[in-house]
Structure 1
């Protein structure tokens, strides 16, 4: 009869033999941080008296750069501009980043994780930072609507593939 320690050792060896080397794909957020935050309130205090409905412009940009072989810095850049007839009420410019670790993943899966999943993980934190920044500038908090990063990624991928194939993007009519 085997002792308890032998059973655990055998299980550990069996798991190593079945799995071999570290070959399972893995991806996740290692760390996240504000890289740059700018809040402009150019017409204060006059802008606090404006009564017309502001026109909002919200722009997103996702960039990535390799830190090392297994880590990528994903930057979610969000610029929010509020304009009224009298001028610009505020501009909030945020670069929110995450260090993403990925190992044993095919390039297409790395690309999808970098440009669709990582921004999805980062967005709720960036959204809260923007809401607080706008509130701290003296305005009602700006709560951004959820963003379908997976849908946007697939849409851009299809547009790129259509462009490479020499076709008009989906939804465009040829004249």
Structure 2
């Protein structure tokens, strides 16, 4: 009899919420450059102690379709000689992806675009930068994983700080 109750509709199961769905439609290098300062200026004198810094920035925009977005990740990798501060190499990569995103609530779309999409692109970026540094005459640089959640939170904090100081600046003028 319990089966009859569920089949005739006397007990209703809650409808599951639409599951977020992401599909990568395309990936591409938008801009790429590598400067080998050692080859241009000659080998540095003395001991070389490379120090590598990585800067990451993100950008996203809606495309023509209602559910398509383009996400661009920008990486700037600089290697300097710790002992004298001279640049050894500079690599810059703008890497993009076109994503089809469905089932993500509007209030969660921005963090999804700035965290999940770059996370999906990162392994490809890492390989490109590794190949680029190796092909540029240096040991392959295998970038540590980027914490896109922390990066997103830092950007939110920076924007909040800018919003707090902006009214004070406007009052002075």
Establish whether TM, by shorter chain, passes 0.5: yes
- Name the CA shift for 1:117/1:25 in 2 (closer, same or farther; >3 Å): closer
Please, which of 26, 35, 44 is the counterpart of residue 39 of structure 2? 44
Q: Deviations over 1:136-171 (max 9, x none)?
A: 01001111111111233244435645776x59xxxx
- Name the CA shift for 1:144/1:49 in 2 (closer, same or farther; >3 Å): farther
In structure 1, the partner of 2:55 is 59
Q: Which runs of 5+ in 2 are unaligned?
A: 1-14, 166-173
In structure 2, the partner of 1:80 is 77
Q: Which runs of 5+ in 1 are unaligned?
A: 1-18, 168-175
Contact kept, 8 Å, 1:62 with 1:115, in 2: the verdict is: yes
- C-alpha separation between the residues in 1 aligned to 2:142 and 2:33? 17
In structure 1, the partner of 2:22 is 27
- C-alpha separation between the residues in 2 aligned to 1:155 and 1:87? 29
Of 153-162 and 56-65, deviating more is: 153-162
TM-score, normalised by the number of residues in structure 2? 0.72
Measured after TM superposition, the shift of residue 24 of structure 1 is 5.5
- Name the CA shift for 1:64/1:41 in 2 (closer, same or farther; >3 Å): same
The equivalences for 1:92-107 within 5 A come to 92-107=91-106
Aligned length: 146
Q: Deviations over 1:24-53 (max 9, x none)?
A: 642232221111110111330623876320
- C-alpha separation between the residues in 1 aligned to 2:95 and 2:128? 9
- C-alpha separation between the residues in 1 aligned to 2:105 and 2:74? 26
Measured after TM superposition, the shift of residue 81 of structure 1 is 0.9
- C-alpha separation between the residues in 1 aligned to 2:86 and 2:162? 39
Contact kept, 8 Å, 1:43 with 1:87, in 2: the verdict is: no
TM-score, normalised by the number of residues in structure 1? 0.71
- C-alpha separation between the residues in 1 aligned to 2:106 and 2:131? 37
- C-alpha separation between the residues in 2 aligned to 1:29 and 1:51? 45
